[in-house]
Amino acid sequence: MKNICSGFVLFIAARVGDTYYMSSTTMHMSPGVPIMKSKDLINWKIVNYAYDVLDTIDDLTLKNGKNTYGKGSWASSIRYHNGSYYVSTFAQTTGKTYVYSTKDIEKGRWIESSFKPNYHDNSLFFDDDGRIYMIYGNINLRIVELNENLSGTIPGTDQVLIENTSAPSGPNSSLGEGSQLFKVKGKYYLFNITWPRGGMRTVVVHRADKITGPWEGRLALQDKGDDFNRRKGDRALPLVWQWNHNPDNKLWSVSQRKGYLRLTTGRIEGRRFCRTRPFTKKIRTGRSQVQ
């Protein structure tokens, strides 16, 4: 088993019985969209991938001088509906949206359905009335209805859902994406990631009685960053931080601005591995085993 903190980003989980299944992001790497399982939400084991190969275009096979590093498939959503598992994602590289389905999430073969365009950070949602939706976009969120076999959208159903999803976290946010929609006791809850200017990554939640709204939003979680406030007797830096070289103590401070780390340029260096001041934070993962 591997602790969740090791190496995965943009993950979303679904519970089936007493087991949690999670999908994550792999971008340009193959196989893609790892599927993990857990019984306790702490220890996770990779049990499958949604696809072996995303596509065979030159960008993904490194032919004719092309590549897709940092692109490929991005954020995914994972759902369980009527005995089947579904994973959706999208790829700038191919310009497509993908939905993968299987009856056996751990050992089964995944069936691919894909269509254009690529719906950014989409959330696949099966409503109680049998209709299927995707919520997608950044800041300006949109909703579109899918056809029954998930091979495409129903014409005329694409519409604005929330004009500014980042509003609950404050003005001037550069982010409002990563949609994940759930329905609990008849109400719809839509989770998104925002990043207010001058702040840190923030989670906002919108709630509505109908899927089309109106929606009311609240700030749910906010990363306050690292606390560099030091008390008498504390070490100069918290123990989780390390330099990649012997530090020049004239070039950094936690006292010039209380609660913050200030770094100052010492010299200009063109050689990457000779640059001073690179800083590393150790990730705390609790107990962690690799199987």
DSSP 8-state symbol, 73 = B
Q: Where are the domains of the chain?
A: 2-222, 226-291
pLDDT at res. 281: 64
Low-confidence stretches of the chain (pLDDT beneath 50): 1-9, 284-291
pLDDT at res. 163: 96
pTM: 0.81
Degrees to nearest 5, angle at CA 69 with 289 and 133:
80
Structure tokens at 232: 């008498």
In whole angstroms, what is the distance from residue 229 CA to residue 236 CA?
10
Protein fold of 2-222: Tachylectin-2; Chain A (2.115.10)
Reported as a single tens digit per residue, the pLDDT across 128-144 is 999 999 999 999 999 99
Q: How many angstroms separate the Cα of 157 from the Cα of each of 31, 143, 154, 175?
A: 33, 8, 6, 25
What's CA 213's distance to the chain center, in Å?
A: 24
- φ/ψ (deg, to 5) at 274: -110, 5
- φ/ψ (deg, to 5) at 250: -80, -15
Tell me how long the chain is: 291
Which amino acid belongs to residue 269? E
What's CA 138's distance to the chain center, in Å?
A: 13
pLDDT at res. 249: 87
